[in-house]
Amino acid sequence: MQIQSLHPAFAAEVTGLDLAAPLDAPTIEVLHDAFLEHAVLLFRGQRLSPAAQSRFAEALAAIEAPLLDRRSMLLPPALRVVAGIPEGEAPPGAAWHADHTHEAEPSLACIAHAPAAEASGIAFADQRAALALLPAPLRRRVEELRAEHAHQGHLAEHPVVRSHPVTGEGALFVNPAFTRRILNLPAGESSRLLAALFAAATAPAVTWRHAWQPGDLILWDNRAVLHTGAPADALQRVRIEGDRPLGLGALEMPWVVAG
């Protein structure tokens, strides 16, 4: 197995691995480390059934679950793996987004596979790199803010900058598809700030574009990158459910310790 970077900031291609075959624990651990580092992993020439794709997701979830930041106290016994995209779940068009940010616990990761027919292209944007490129005063400001995300009647509030629950890295956590407003700001100021953040989040310096080929499989970290959409019937998808996003250095503890 070899791992080759595809972009200076993120994304890598993994070669020499057949995901349809059983993967031993050391191999899964190496893949999980690469997943955390690169946020997007591309595997070419894969021929695996939906069941095998789900098993791969479950193996990753089994490693991820005990590593999640316990500050939220919302860690389930096992991270749920969901196959497919139910009708009405996708954002409008091919807008930049992270999956399910309109819910209290957005998705942790997604695996998309093009088993035969070519799908349209997909693009990713590294939100860790986008945050790092913000001017220092703007970064300090947005680290203290929260935003509302909405889609088809679902509403959720999240920090504008989230802390990765495993690595602790900061990343922008707003997106054009679902983020509606910055909380506690006048409407005009909220709109201007979101426009600036969306531009930074999808700037050419932090994006990588991929043209699907039959057999391609991509795994991405929904906590660290945005992506564009693709026709639901063109890709075979599996989603790993996530936890509640927390801000940088947040001590959001929903419990009280009594003396």
Read off the CATH number of the domain in which 222 is found: 3.60.130.10
The answer to whether residue 254 sits within a structural domain is no
Question: 202-214 pLDDT, tens per residue?
Answer: 999 999 999 999 9
Using CA atoms, how far apart are residues 201 and 37, in angstroms rounded to an integer?
A: 18
Q: How confident is the model at residue 115 (pLDDT cuts 50, 70, 90)?
A: confident
The answer to whether residue 249 sits within a structural domain is no
The answer to whether residue 147 sits within a structural domain is yes
Using CA atoms, how far apart are residues 12 and 34, in angstroms rounded to an integer?
A: 8
Enclosing domain of residue 121: 2-244
The answer to whether residue 137 sits within a structural domain is yes
Contact between 245 and 59 (Cβ < 8 Å): no
pLDDT of residue 252: 47
Quote the pTM value. 0.90
Contact between 15 and 4 (Cβ < 8 Å): yes
Question: 169-190 pLDDT, tens per residue?
Answer: 999 999 999 999 999 999 999 9
The answer to whether residue 149 sits within a structural domain is yes
Using CA atoms, how far apart are residues 173 and 128, in angstroms rounded to an integer?
A: 9
- The number of distinct structural domains making up the chain is 1
Contact between 201 and 226 (Cβ < 8 Å): yes
The neighbour count for residue 186, using CB atoms within 10 Å, is 9
Residues 6+ apart with CB under 8 A from 25: none
The answer to whether residue 255 sits within a structural domain is no
The answer to whether residue 252 sits within a structural domain is no
**Mean of the pLDDT values across residues 151-168?**
95
pLDDT of residue 144: 95
**Mean of the pLDDT values across residues 103-120?**
87
Using CA atoms, how far apart are residues 239 and 220, in angstroms rounded to an integer?
A: 10
pLDDT of residue 250: 57
The answer to whether residue 250 sits within a structural domain is no
Mean pLDDT for all residues in the chain: 88
